[in-house]
Structure 1
Amino acid sequence: MQLENGASPFVTDVPPHTVEVPHRRMDLTAILALLLLCVAVKGSENITAWYGKTIKVPCNGGNLALNGLVFVKWKYVKDDESPGDLLIKQANDNQVTIQASEDYASRISMDDDYSLHVGQASLSDQKFFTCMAVYLSNLKEYPVYVLVNKKPSSVEIIDKSEALKKDIMTTVGTCIVKDSNPAATISWTKNKSPLKGDEKGVSITPSVKLNPATGLSTSYSTLQYAATKEDAGAVFSCMSTYERVHNETQLEPLPVHYPSEKVRLDILPKGPIKEGANVTLRCAGDGNPPPNSFFFHKKGEKIRVENSDTLTLTQVSKEDTGLYKCSLPENEKLEASQNITVHYVNLNLSPSGGL
């Protein structure tokens, strides 16, 4: 077959070391390279390791074909996305050659089944490690992504409140779950019942801080709560959840503080008061904690009493008869009153009859 210009349809000026093929030519060296470097990259898998422990990364899931195997080499992806060599082992030879430098050189080894071992796992080891198996006729790569988990080192509550306040948002405490990966989640309960941040009288503020040196996360959660009187003695708990494992820390029962709404005045002793007796006025409010300072109003005179709830009138006389009141210094509109009547003997007797 000839072309119009008389040229052969096949290539005739073939250089040395080439094979003649209709419509194309291919260097024998390239063909050999394709045969030797035919790479089959398997889909990557993930494995999970624990912080501080040894990572074991199997080659092809531990099912590496050994027939025709020449050597196995492990490599990894650096932070800048460039490849890095770790170590290499020839088939049928126990000798392992470390190719890594810096950090990995002292932490890596290879098993007889060609699994990679990396000691003292840290978050910097979260990356792709690739097992490259070179055979007589081809090459296969098995990439594995390593995840490094770390359980929290501690769970605690700081900035604990000593008491709650009625109808006022009060910080109950801040729960801290330290040094984990991934970050732990935090929830709150009151008397074992879950609390939600969107409930009335409940505010939960979560946050996470990353340690730049270790990459570990510390979780925070601050609970604010507006109490009712019925919440007195309630037990609040912080619960951390990490990999479906729960750790609970609880506070001591908290009192609820609220101002007095009523004031009561008692007169002691009970019953008729005789002239010359001592009389005690006792004032009380229904707040929590109970008030310990009062104003006593004695016939127009206002007397303040600190750290006490009583005022004593000594050796009363008929002049002490009258209206008595007590009130709170922080809210003088809250007051209570009592009348005191002092009974006395009238010694002004008029004689009757003739002398």
Structure 2
Amino acid sequence: MNSDHRPGRHRAPGSYSPLGELKTIARASAQPAIKGAAVVAAAGGLVATLSAPASAETTARGAAVADAPDRAPRAAPTLGPDATTTPAPAVSTALSSIGYVASAPKKAAKPKPIVIKDVVVEKARKEAAEKARREAAAKRAAAEKARQEAAAKKAAAERAAAQKAAAEKARRAAAAKAAAEKARRQAAARKAAAEKARKAATRGSRTTSRTTTTKSTYRAKPTLNKATAKKTTARATAGKRSSRNWATRGQCTWGALNKWYQSEGYYPGGWTGNAMSWAWGAANAGYTVSSTPRARSIVVMQPGVHGSSSVGHVGWVTRVSGNRVTMIEMNALAGPYNYNTRTVTHQGGMKYIYAP
């Protein structure tokens, strides 16, 4: 007798084991749909073995379930991209009671679509994109160049304007300086002309004075000493000069030297000392000193003469009439730094330093 060991309904009689057959079917099933059908078929036998005697209705329902595989042909599984996932069959309560848990079916992976590229179109697109990129770069470079040129022109214009403004400022400053220098020269020329005119007038008046007032109207008493007579009428000589008024400011000596300068245009020099020693000092400096009064001379008075102090007194003689001498003096009747005019009588103790 041949024994048939194929799983399923074609088993050897008397050797049916529901649990072993269920495990064999589960291991042999490769597709989710076949595995689910096998589980349902085995479950029918397992339930029939474990359950108590059923009623007629239950028996009929079980028979219907047992005969279901023979009546309903199994659908072949669909493979390929169009395959759809078959839902897992519902797990029986009886299978759950024995601890079996069905695994969920795996989803088939969708294949990636195949894209066919046109090499010519792709190349044309790349060339067009590269050309557009180069044109955009050229436009940016041109714009940058134009911006730099505009900035350079603006900077050059600003430098030119600054240079022009500086040149204009320098020109105005030079013109103002030239105008000021011209005004200064004109003022100096006018001052020089005025000084020249004053000196000319002074020289003219000085010449007139020399021809008129130098001739003293004073008449000395007749004397038999011819040498003395010649000495009193001797011609005035010029002595040493000074560049400044060397006397003490505010004193009679300073006032006499200042009047000499106003009349002659220079300061006499070559001696120093108090007023009473001026006749001797001027004679040693080369000036003519006489006892005969004369205009344009410095009168030297010894102490006590016409109120002179203990150091003497001097004044500038402006007029002589007989033995009356008119002089301008400082630090006398009007006090220090001030002039006054006084007329005195010529007497002993009075000498005159002639201006040449």
Name the TM tier (shorter chain).
Answer: under 0.3
TM-score (norm 2): 0.20
TM-score (norm 1): 0.20
Q: Max radius of gyration: which structure?
A: 2
Please identify which structure carries the higher strand content: 1
